[in-house]
Each structure stands twice: as C-alpha cells, then as structure tokens.
Amino acid sequence: MPAISESVLAGTWQLLFWGAVLACAVAATVFAVRQHSVLEPAGRASDTLFWDVFMGSAVAVPAILIPTLGSPWAGVALAAVGGATGVVAYRSHPRIRAWQSTRRQRRQEQPLYTAAQAEHTTLLARWSRYELDPACCIDYPAMTDVRQPETAAVIRAMREAEQLRTVPQQGYAPAVARLRMALTEAEKAAGIPAAAE
C-alpha cells in the first residue's frame, strides 16, 4: 500500500513539474513569436519565426512526450495545459506589451520628473516669499492681488502643477514649466527687478 501512494505522489509531482515546464515553454514561445512578428521586418520575420517555434518545440514536445510514456492520460492533460497556456499567452500579449511600455516610459521619465519636482519646490518657495514676507507684501502688492491677470495665471498654474504632481505621466514637467513662466511674467508685471527673483 505505501508503494502505491508513493507512486501516485511521485507521478503527481512529475506531472506538475512537466506541466510547469510546458506552460513556461509555450508562453515564452507565443510571446517571442508575437513580439518578433511585430518588431521584425517582413523578410527576417519568417526566419525568426522558425527559430522561435523550433526552440519552443524543443522544450514543449519532450515535456509532453516524456510523461506520456508513463501514462497516456498524462499526455492528454499536458496537451490541454499547453493549449490553454498558448491561448492565454496569445490573448494577454497586448496587455503585457502595454504594461512593459508603460514601465519603460516611466523609467525614462523619472529623471525629468525628479527635476520637475525640485523646480516645483523652488518655485513654491519663490512664490511664498511674496505671501509670507511682510516687506515683499508691502513692496510688491500686485503679487498677491488675484485681480491682476498675471497673478491669477500664477495661481492657476500652481493649482495645475500641484494636481499633476502625483501623476507624472500626465504632463507634470510641462505644468511646472508653465508655472515658472507665469511666475516670471507676474514678477515682471509687478515691477520686480530680475535680480530679486
């Protein structure tokens, strides 16, 4: 009796192992074929396609045949696993490519976003001088008067930059640039010398 239970347990582990190998091979093959069919020029696509399918088959076929030698039902189950994995990989490929593209874009934009954050903080400190320093409030009252079109533009630009600070891919850096320009224009309109900026 213990021999039968050990045999069933060993067979289950083997089936799980070969199923995982097969699923990985099929998914990788489908992804490679779809990726290369999109990226490769037409002449090279057929050669690349052949090698993608060949390499995937070199792993997937033995993953089905080896367990089938022990039990035909294992081969049927593994063929079903391979087919289901292929369908799922084929259908999920566009979503995975979009996710990868988004991650790549975020990595590329990260230095720009960090620089925009630093500039945003500097601009807010520059603006707070006109609100919090009594001498600046007295010398340049137009900087806190929202009836002035330039000052109103600064407030709008500040609000926009603050809203976009948490979603960098939605145009945070350009919003900070607009804030810088609006603040510079408001300072010019209020008669602040360039050296005081």
pLDDT digits (tens, 9 = 90+) for 43-64: 566 778 888 888 888 888 888 8
Joined together, the tokens standing for residue 183 give 């603040």
Distance from CA of residue 129 to its chain's centroid? 38
- Tell me the pLDDT band of 8, cut-offs 50, 70 and 90: low
Distance linking the first and last C-alpha atoms of the chain: 88
d(CA 195, CA 182): 17
Quote the pLDDT of residue 119: 94
**pLDDT tens digits along 27-46:** 999 888 888 777 666 656 67
- pLDDT tens readout for residues 115-133: 889 999 999 999 898 888 8
Please report the DSSP string for the chain in residue order: -HHHHHHHHHHHHHHHHHHHHHHHHHHHHHHHHHHHHHHS-HHHHHHHHHHHHHHHHHHHHHHHHHHHHH-HHHHHHHHHHHHHHHHHHHHHHHHHHHHHHHHHHHHHHHHHHHHHHHHHHHHHHHHHHHHH-HHHHHH-GGGG-TTSHHHHHHHHHHHHHHHHTT-GGGTHHHHHHHHHHHHHHHHHHTT--GGG-
pTM of this prediction exceeds 0.95: no
